[in-house]
């Protein structure tokens, strides 16, 4: 069996977001008729159709895949434009009303609906283009038929000058929805 | 480690109690505050968001989804579901690096 030097994969954008501990699967299958592929350059990786995902620390200096990007300090402690909770709230309310006004609660559809709504609200928030902000959107949809007692609570540890959140509630006859959108400044 | 911290906090606050509508408000606040305090004690350079939902066991359904725009290599989240005979408690912790 030929010795293969493990190389880093840099061009697969999906993999770039996986933490190294997760991406260290060593399973490798060789495509038939391919001999011993050289894994040094990522160009060849794409051709050989192998199924492995080894992230080697030794090859990091090649610069193909850099996990810890070092950004230069901007010395900006405050954002130019703060997270405007009022606008975001209105936008989220519009989304919820538009998508849910005639919906009936159904476990199968609401499961996908909540994920879809979280995605849609995230896209709308990104359109505001708040610079250097990270966002977290949490959407909960529940049924009202059984009239459950419920309480939502939330606390955050953040910089109160720059960070904020927006809270939206919606209810129709058979379901309710709650969306919480947090904007945190990345110094 | 965040997981055990959260579980311990939840157990501590609502451990042996049955769902009581007048106390639920206080419970959510306490659970969230305790979680946050424990997380702060870890001393890591993170901003935290802790959310807690306490729901009566009534046969009703609840779906929660979250979408996050952050740096996947440094930020993460963890959700813990706790229940007893009368209620469910769902705690989500989001940690974002500074």
In angstroms, the separation between the Cα of residue B58 and the nearest Cα of chain A is 6
Domains of chain A: residue spans and CATH: 7-64 (no CATH), 85-185 (3.30.1140.40)
**Contact call for A140 and B33, based on CB within 8 A:** no
Supply the angle between the helices A107-127 and A85-100 in degrees, to the nearest 10.
150
> CATH for B1-97?
3.30.1140.40
Q: Closest chain B residue to A142 measured between Cα atoms?
A: B62
Highest mean pLDDT among A58-62, A116-120, A156-160: A116-120
pLDDT band, very low/low/confident/very high, at A128 (cuts 50, 70, 90): confident
Q: Which of A107, A154, A187 sits opposite B49 (nearest CB)?
A: A154
| A179 C-beta neighbours (distance < 10 Å), count | 24
pLDDT tens track for B35-62? 888 888 888 888 889 898 888 888 888 8
Highest mean pLDDT among A142-146, A159-163, A168-172, B16-20: A168-172
Per the CB < 8 A criterion, the answer to whether A28 and A52 are in contact is: yes
Per the CB < 8 A criterion, the answer to whether A183 and B47 are in contact is: no
pLDDT at B28: 86
**A141 SS3 class:** strand
Whole-angstrom Cα distance, residue A179 to residue A97? 12
In angstroms, the separation between the Cα of residue A139 and the nearest Cα of chain B is 5
Tokens of A174: 């058979």
Tokens of A57: 């620390």
Dihedral sign computed on CA atoms, order A116, A118, A121, A125:
negative
Whole-angstrom Cα distance, residue A113 to residue A109? 6
């Amino acid at each position: 069996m030929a010795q293969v030097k493990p190389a880093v994969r840099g061009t697969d954008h999906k993999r770039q977001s996986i933490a190294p501990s997760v991406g260290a699967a060593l399973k490798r299958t060789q495509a038939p008729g391919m001999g011993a592929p050289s894994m040094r350059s990522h160009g060849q990786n794409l051709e050989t159709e192998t199924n492995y995902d080894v992230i080697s620390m030794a090859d990091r200096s090649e610069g193909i895949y850099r996990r810890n990007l070092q950004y230069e300090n901007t010395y900006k402690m405050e954002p130019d434009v703060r997270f405007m909770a009022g606008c975001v709230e209105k936008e989220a309310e519009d989304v919820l009303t538009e998508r849910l006004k005639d919906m009936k609660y159904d476990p199968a559809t609401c499961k996908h609906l909540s994920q879809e709504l979280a995605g849609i609200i995230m896209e709308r928030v990104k359109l505001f283009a708040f610079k250097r902000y990270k966002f977290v959107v949490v959407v909960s949809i529940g049924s009202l038929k059984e009239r459950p007692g419920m309480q939502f609570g939330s606390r955050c540890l953040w910089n109160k000058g720059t960070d904020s959140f927006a809270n939206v509630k919606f209810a129709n006859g058979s379901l309710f929805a709650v969306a919480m959108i947090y904007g945190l400044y990345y110094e | 480690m965040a997981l055990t911290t959260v579980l311990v906090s939840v157990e501590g606050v609502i451990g042996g109690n049955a769902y009581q509508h007048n106390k639920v408000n206080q419970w959510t606040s306490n659970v969230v505050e305790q979680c946050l305090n424990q997380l702060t004690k870890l001393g890591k350079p993170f901003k935290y968001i802790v959310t807690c939902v306490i729901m009566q066991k009534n046969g009703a359904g609840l779906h929660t989804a979250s979408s996050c725009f952050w740096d996947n290599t440094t930020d993460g989240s963890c959700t813990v579901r706790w229940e007893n005979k009368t209620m469910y408690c769902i705690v989500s912790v989001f940690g974002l690096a500074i």
